[in-house]
Amino acid sequence: MDVRTKDDFLNGQLLLIDKPLSWSSFQAVNKLKWAIRKKFNLKKIKIGHAGTLDPLATGLLLICTGKFTKTINNLQGQIKEYTGEITLGGTTPSYDLETEIDATFSINHITEQKIQETTQQFIGQIEQIPPIFSALKKDGKRLYEYARDGVTVEIKKRQITITEFEIVAIKMPVIEFRVVCSKGTYIRSLAHDFGKALNAGAHLTALRRTKIGDYNVNNAIDPLEFERALLDNNDI
């Protein structure tokens, strides 16, 4: 691939970024924005991502520049694939490791067969309640703001589609999985609901987005590598 020019970025580029752990999606976009502006001495450039990843998740982030930002809505609607880990035996308010465990449960009754059978309940069109610790808005306020203030609010169910839910490995209490799902699916909610269906608590302890449509994280670049390559005139 040729080295990208200023006009390339202004006319539009789709960049495949592998978001590091603990980075917000906003931080990843900002890192690229800063690097492009510095490289080409630009006062501003349009740039945005097609689908947020939580700071505790890693993986594929599609970042569009210039005229390609018009394609963001279409990219957000693509089918997504995730891999990760669900840990049984405890729940957290955020459904992941952002908050502390608030309840513990016995998992002595859970067998590998039961785990495999329970995945079938979540395949197809299902209704899901998003986590209270999410950026969704209700009455103009983010849900996580209500959660942090200790305010209970009603969250509407939303219809999502899970086309594949594969158990990759079982190392009790940790279950490794792969999920292929529609836009709007919260894997944290899936982990929480999966624990409920097993009559035990569960929460998400690792998550990686591996695919968005035909785009694969194997072809993505770390934002710091992008910055180095761009500023050193290397191929990106």
Distance CA 93, CA 97 (A): 9
Candidate list 7, 8, 54, 193, residue with the active-site label: 54
DSSP class per residue in the chain? -PPPPHHHHHH-EEEEEEEPTT--HHHHHHHHHHHHHHHHT-S---EEESS---TT-EEEEEEEEGGGGGGHHHHHTS-EEEEEEEEESEE-TTSSTTS---EE---TT--HHHHHHHGGGGSEEEEEPPPSSSS-EETTEEHHHHHHTT-------EEEEEEEEEEEEEETTEEEEEEEE-TT--HHHHHHHHHHHTTS-EEEEEEEEEEETTEEGGG-B-HHHHHHHHHTT---
Give the whole-angstrom CA distance, residue 143 versus residue 156.
12
214 is catalytic: no
Which residues are annotated as catalytic? 54
